[in-house]
Amino acid sequence: MKKFLPIVLILLISKVGFGQTYLLEEFFNDSINFPPASWTIVDQDDDGYNWRINTWDNGSFTEIYAVSDSWLSGGVGALTPENYLISPQIDLTGLVGEVKVRYTVQVANIDYPAEKYKLAVSTTGNQVADFTNVVLTETLDTNVYYVWKERIVDLTQFIGQHVYLTWCHFDCTDEYKFLLDSIQVYNILNPGIENPSLNAMIQVYPNPVSRTLTISGDYTNARLLLSGVDGREVFAITDQNRVSKIDVSEFESGIYFLRIETPKGIVIKKVAINN
């Protein structure tokens, strides 16, 4: 028997700047018309259950988001989803700098969190077989229960092309729900130039770190980004000056790269997280 627990939906949005232009934004705010205009959904496993819209009202606001199920009540039980949510075509031609996609994910049951999904890119069309470029595969855990977690994935390699994105909920069963919201594709026009002399002026400690990472030094109006070795950004914050702190206590152990973007240039530091 599934144990139903309330979902506290808190949307965490990181500000990003440095000449940023949005190429696609979708917040799933229409609770009636789904999928949104120019988006498509595909029930590839053909079980009759596909991506859908869901709402949750806590009394002071209503949250609307996309959902794909791996278990349903009403006598349905366990599902084995292969459900594709496919974006409209996104024009990346003529761009310079960097292109990234930001979105938030969540699971709906702390006892059944292991929802698996992949983010894939097509440069040819919006059919399932076209999505041959898998840029992220993730199995969620209890860290994404009760709060929206942000994901930022680099799409810069696809500049110069027209692309489609898909979020596919797949390769899992008998969990509960995979929640997706707040999709933004954006172009950073001026990612900056790495500055070796600035590197000596900025200290990052302790390293290795398990709780709070401190960044101090001669920097102003800085943007901080923390990424794993796979290039996936796990943290981003802007408007930082002199001393900044990042809580890394919930991040997985491993090697990360801290990118410090300032008007004087960029500094990149390697950070080891031990949790």
pLDDT tens digits, one per residue of 144-200: 998 888 898 999 999 999 999 999 999 999 999 999 999 999 887 655 566 777 888
Say how many domains are in the chain: 2
Note the pLDDT of residue 181.
Answer: 94
Domain endpoint, select from 165, 188, 211: 188
Looking at the structure, tell me whether residues 48 and 146 fall in a common domain: yes
Q: Could you list the residue range(s) of the whole structural domain that residue 153 is in?
A: 20-188
Domain endpoint, select from 188, 218, 243: 188
- Per-residue pLDDT, averaged over 234-252, amounts to 91
Looking at the structure, tell me whether residues 48 and 135 fall in a common domain: yes
Note the pLDDT of residue 230.
Answer: 65
Domain endpoint, select from 155, 188, 221: 188
Looking at the structure, tell me whether residues 168 and 56 fall in a common domain: yes
Quick check: 22 pLDDT over 80? yes
- Per-residue pLDDT, averaged over 199-208, amounts to 91
Note the pLDDT of residue 1.
Answer: 25
Radius of gyration of the chain (CA): 20
Quick check: 257 pLDDT over 90? no
Note the pLDDT of residue 119.
Answer: 98
CATH of the domain at 30: 2.60.120.200
Note the pLDDT of residue 47.
Answer: 98
Note the pLDDT of residue 152.
Answer: 87
* 82-124 tens-digit pLDDT: 999 999 999 999 887 789 999 999 999 999 999 999 999 999 9
Note the pLDDT of residue 150.
Answer: 85
- Per-residue pLDDT, averaged over 23-46, amounts to 95
- Per-residue pLDDT, averaged over 135-147, amounts to 92
Contact (CB, 8 A) for 100 and 24: no
CA-to-CA separations, 100 to 11, 57, 115, 226, 232, in angstroms, rounded = 19, 31, 23, 14, 10
- Per-residue pLDDT, averaged over 61-75, amounts to 93
Banded pLDDT at 14 (limits 50, 70, 90): very low
With pLDDT > 70 as the criterion, what percentage of the chain qualifies? 88
| Residue 180 maps to a domain | yes
- Per-residue pLDDT, averaged over 243-248, amounts to 94
- Distance of alpha carbon 10 from alpha carbon 14, whole angstroms: 13
* 215-226 tens-digit pLDDT: 999 888 888 989
| Residue 8 maps to a domain | no
Looking at the structure, tell me whether residues 207 and 224 fall in a common domain: yes
